[in-house]
Homo-oligomer: A and B are copies of this chain.
Amino acid sequence: MVAPMPPRARATTIGDVGEFGFLARLLPRLPRGSGVIVGPGQDCAVIRCAGRRWLFTVDALVEGVHFERGWLSAHQLGRKGFLINASDAAAMGGRPRFCVVSLAVPSDYPLRDLTALQAGIVESAGEAGAVVVGGNLTRAQQLSVTIALLADAPKRIVTRRGACRGDRIYVTGTLGDAALGCRALHDRVRRGTTYAVRRFREPSPRLRAGRVLVESGIVSAMIDVSDGLVQDLDHICEESAVGAVIRTARLPLSATYRSVLSADDALALHGGEDYELLCTVPERQVKRLERAQARLGCPITCIGEIVGGRRIRVERPDGRDVILTARGYDHFRPRS
């Protein structure tokens, strides 16, 4: 008797392992080079040039993945394309300086929209102290905006690595609004979500807060919340080899969030696109953080603390505590 042939294995795809699965395999293998102070795997790379340090980062917005054209104007899309990069610079305390822009647009894209998109990039770059120095324009089926940003690095380097047991976990602003706004735009049920929709359309990168938190030496680790609080906290935990406890009663939620979602904390925990700063602060720095608060330009809230182990525990007031693994936004792994 001949054993039946096993079905031919389908090749593993990026959709099977997801963005972070791929990066986990890739990053350890990448070669380092001279002049590279911090390599891939952080919000920005840190490179050295003529004795001075620069942050270098790239990010993209793709139609059908990050937005639909009806969800925001071309000008807003241009602004957002720059601002999400600025948020990466904020997470390491940088000052945006120079950017190059790669636009991919369908042939039938209206010229006035392309002009508005470009104007939005230039405008938001200018507001952040940066200038568009070059670009590339190509045809594509999906509209997309890819921007690479160079920022002045602060003297102190803060990455996702550095959180220690006992550190407090802080987050700026409020959580979950952009995800709520995105859902409202997607479902076309926008009653009461004006503020949330605005947060989706126009991120507020915390550049000033990032600089103060890094330069003052208050924070031990920092990241911007782009893929969802739990997932981005998991990046800090993984890099720092620690665990975390989050108290949902402390999550900073907007009036809009509370009125639309009441006690449902899913979007605040996992929503993504907040572009707030998530940082860890050693116990001995908490007093200094309190004194520095007025200089941050935004609220900052303690939502939990770093613990041993490698798990993230979410404590709810009703005692329905859960142990979470990261479950934030991954383009390649649609949520179940």
**A interface vs B, CB < 8 Å?**
11-17, 19, 22-23, 25-26, 30-33, 35-36, 39-40, 42, 44-45, 47, 49-52, 54, 56-60, 62, 64-66, 97-98, 100-102, 104-105, 107-112, 114-115, 118, 122, 126, 130-142, 144, 146, 148, 150, 331-332
Contact = CB atoms under 8 A, between A and B. Distances in A.
A45 B110 contact: no
Contacts of A22: 111, 114, 137
Contact of A135 (B47, B58, B97, B118): B58
Given A58-B146, A141-B142, 16 more contacts: A11-B110, A11-B112, A13-B109, A14-B114, A19-B137, A22-B111, A35-B131, A36-B131, A45-B134, A56-B150, A59-B136, A60-B136, A62-B138, A65-B138, A136-B146, A144-B144
A73 B330 CA distance: 26
Contacts of A35: 97-98, 131
A112 B13 CA distance: 8
Q: How many copies does the complex hold?
A: 2
Main secondary structure of the interface of A (DSSP, over half): mixed
Contacts of A132: 30, 40
10 residue pairs, one from A and one from B, having the closest CB atoms: A33-B131, A148-B148, A45-B133, A15-B107, A139-B331, A50-B52, A58-B100, A50-B50, A45-B134, A11-B110
23 contacts: A11-B112, A12-B112, A13-B111, A14-B105, A15-B107, A15-B108, A25-B115, A31-B126, A33-B131, A44-B134, A47-B98, A47-B133, A56-B98, A56-B100, A58-B100, A58-B101, A58-B134, A58-B135, A58-B148, A60-B136, A62-B139, A65-B140, A137-B331
